[in-house]
Each structure stands twice: as structure tokens, then as C-alpha cells.
Chains A and B, each alone.
Chain A
Amino acid sequence: MHSPELLKGTLQTIVLKVLKDHGKMYGYEITQRVKELSDDRILLTEGALYPTLHKLEAEGLLKTEIVNIGKRVRKYYNLTTPGKAEARERVTEFVDFIRTMGNVLQVELS
């Protein structure tokens, strides 16, 4: 499992990219999806996920949709148009970052 320290800076990128690929999702679904994609190596904690979601929403990158399911309500998140652009940008930026890190740390990236 990766250390949460490493994850900190990439959390927003992960959330944006997952939503971009998968369309609307709710909080739990996002954690599960990330868990699945990372082979259980990235576990998003709720304490980190929800603040991030709310922050992205406040910044206008995400929009939400509330669906009633039985006794409880479920809040779906989806990207807004600027959110989509932002997701693309973040991913490019991150790939760039990894390449740089590869050079700095003198390791071959596959």
C-alpha cells in the first residue's frame, strides 16, 4: 500500500480522472473504483476524499446530483465542462512530473 504522504498531492488528479473515465459516481463508488484500479494499493480515506470533493465542487469543477434511494439520499458527482479540461491538464501535468522524477531519481520508467 502506498503511503498517504505520497497520495496527498495527487488526490484531486485521481478523483478528476476517475470521474472523467467513468462518468457520474458517488463517494463510496469512487473509493471502490480507485481500490480496484490500484489493486488495493491505493485506499482513499473518507477523511481525505470528502473534503477534496467538496473543495472541487466549490471551485466549480464538479457538479452534483442528488438521488433518493429508499430511506437515504445519494449524492452523485460529475465533471463540469471546466472540470473536464482541468482533468486533462492535471493528468498531463502529472505524467510530466513522473518523467521528471524519473530523471531526478535516475530510474528507468517502463
Chain B
Amino acid sequence: MNRESIRVGFVGFGRMGITHYSILNNHPNVNIVAVCDASKMMLRVLGKYVDVATYTDFREMIDSDKLDAIVVSTPASSHAEIVRVGLDRGLHTFVEKPFTLTAADSREIVDRLDGQHVVNQVGYVNRFNEVFDEARRLLQLGVIGDVRRFRSEMYGATVTKDSKSSWRSKQAQGGGCMYEFASHCIDLAVYLFGEPVGVSGSTLQSIYSSTVEDVVSSNLEYGNGCLGEIAVNWSDMSYRKPANVVTAIGKDGKLIADRYVLKLFLRHARPDLGFHEGWNTKYITDIAKPVRVYVRGNEFTNQLDDFVAAIADGRATTRCSFADAAIVDRIMEQIREDAAGEGVGARANEVSVRPATTRSWISRLLGAGRLDRA
């Protein structure tokens, strides 16, 4: 084994852990040395076919195997505890979304990172989709001018009956449409448009589930005349697969993006970027580059390769850091409070806003004007 290779341990070996393992296993800089999971059967089957140490206790794994990094794909309720232990040992950490289940936990972990050179990343995979990333680039270039209004939507047919026994119906375990779906939708909004100062008009609604929400809607307020809508429904049976769509209205045009297609309507042609006046369409086939290995989509490979490259290159920043994901956790909490009528609106939160990593360009993009609300 390459002396330079990064020794990785997996915590959690469900659907995402299994996928991440497959993607990382043949990475030239990675040596997967250990896997931890609650299922002994899973570990015994895995141990028969691949050469890794197996554990049921993540602390034991971290203490026993000299790891450089961990990939955490456990239920979200355990993320905070595992990530803290990993950070105490200085381990580079990739953790699945949502980051943690409380804004306070996420904030505390981000504060703990301060000054520590540890690569940290959360699995908001849409940031690594080529179309959404192209949308971000074009927004930063000001192609549609100042964004005044946007909508970030996510729909899917994940829950079409009340299944009380599933973890999906238990909020304390990370279930519910908010953690599963809205988190993606909010993160994409933050990635493309920056961090909002507050939320308003939030609703949580059930269609099938008796213990968690199936529909989430909210307005993200930016304090400069820009408003964003979040519209999420994981009980829309017309969808074959979960789908995200982002629509943005700027003063000079409109942008619509999903995972496959980007459409632009422009007031003025941008020959420098290859766009004419009116409608323009870019497909993923025009934008995407091949990946090292394809397992579930380019974005899943690109996000882990970014994590590994950050470790190898000695840079602490990734495209989706703990700090980025902590913003999502804060917004989710605000939406819950807002929906419950606890009066947490935009103004109440302006004082507690932390700078977004995307703040510099977004403030440029959105202009310096103050909120002129009624």
C-alpha cells in the first residue's frame, strides 16, 4: 500500500456508506482500513469479501486504527457525537447531510474547528452537480443581474404512506421531510444566493405521515430586497426520482436549473459567454466532465474526490464545509420555530447572522441596498 495514502475509516454502513465505500475504494490516494456499523451481519458479510478491520464501536475503531480521516454515514442523530470524537483526534471528516439535528450543536462544532487544520465536509451533493455549479458561476457573473426573487424546490415520492416504524417518521432520528429533503433545497439556495438573514411565512404540513412533516414551505429573507421561496414535498407521487429545481428572477433575466438542464432568459445578449437575447439552454452533456469512477452520479464521485484532494493538498476548505452546513441547520431550526408561530422572523435574527462563506460575492450580486419592506 502506498505510504502516502490516506487511511480512512467508515462510520455507518447503510445505503450511503456502501456507496461512498465503492467510490473511494479504488482512489489512488486512499486506503480504507476500517468499517464500523451497528449491524454485525453487515460487518461479517463485508469482512468475508474485503480486507478491512470491522468494529461495532466507532470509538474503538478510532482508537485502534491509525486513521487520517473518517466518512460518517450514520443516522443524523449520531453525527454530532461522532464528529466531536473525530475532531478531538484531529481526523479529517466527511459527514452525510444533515450535519447535526440542532443549530447549537452545529455552531459549537464549527467553533471548535477554529484554528484546527482539519478538512471538514458535509454531503450536500447538489453542490457538486455540474449544472447547479454552472448556475452559480453564471449568477456570480451577473448574467441575470441583481437577483430579486428565487424559488428552490425539491419534490419526490419518498413517502406515500404513513410508516410509523421507519426512521423516516422519527424526527429525533433525522426523519421527516425537513431533514431529508428541505435540507438539500435550503443548502442549494445558500450555495447559489448566499445566507439569508431570516425566514417568514413558514409552514410544515402532513400529507401521509402522522409524526413528521411531508411538506415544507418558507420564505428566505435577504434584507436587501431579495426574497427566496423554499417549496419541498417528499410525498408527491408523480416523481420517479427526487428532483431539485431552482428558478431565479433577476433584473436582467431569469435562470432555471435542475440536475440536467440550465435555461436562461436574457434581456441582453452575452456573446462573451455564448448566450443570446431571449432563451438559451445548456444541457449537462455540454457541461459535465467524466469522473474517475461513476457509481451513483458524477456529483457523488466529485464530492468525495474534493474531500480527498483537500486532504492531499493540505487545504482546509471544501466546497461544502461544516460552516456551510451549519447555516442550513440554523435555517431549518428557524423554519420550525416560524411555522410553530414562535415569532422568529427576519428582523429577530438579523443580529445573530454569521457571515456566509459566499458573502462577498453575494453581497456584490445582490447590491448594497437595504431592505425596503412594508
The answer to whether A binds B is: no
